[in-house]
């Protein structure tokens, strides 16, 4: 596949340095590093365990209204209009 790729200046500098050290082409280095990065990402996703969601209880003190009677509690918040 042929494509145009715009590199950030810092990435281009590191890539050019690596290419010269290894006496390889830009194409070879970009493909190698993309393969390594993609494999690393795939491995990280495979081994990562999602963090469990936890709800921490909060003591709010004494209740000011009886929440067992939902209708009465709602009437306190929003009184019926007559």
pLDDT in tens, 7-49: 999 999 999 999 999 999 999 999 999 999 999 999 888 887 7
Using the predicted structure, report yes or no on whether residue 65 has a pLDDT greater than 80: no
Nearest to 25 by CA among 13, 15, 38: 15
Q: Who wins on pLDDT, 22 or 61?
A: 22
pTM for the full model? 0.55
Using the predicted structure, report yes or no on whether residue 64 has a pLDDT greater than 80: no
Q: Who wins on pLDDT, 71 or 82?
A: 71
Count Cα atoms within 13 angstroms, Cβ side, for 80.
5
Alpha-carbon distance 27 to 5, whole Å?
Answer: 11
């Amino acid at each position: 596949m042929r494509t145009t790729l715009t590199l950030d200046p810092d990435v281009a500098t590191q890539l050019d340095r690596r290419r010269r050290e290894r006496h390889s082409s830009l194409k070879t280095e970009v493909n190698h590093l993309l393969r390594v990065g993609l494999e690393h990402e795939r491995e990280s996703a495979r081994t990562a365990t999602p963090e469990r969601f936890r709800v921490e209880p909060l003591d709010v003190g004494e209740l000011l209204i009886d929440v067992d009677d939902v209708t009465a509690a709602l009437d306190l918040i929003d009184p019926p209009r007559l």
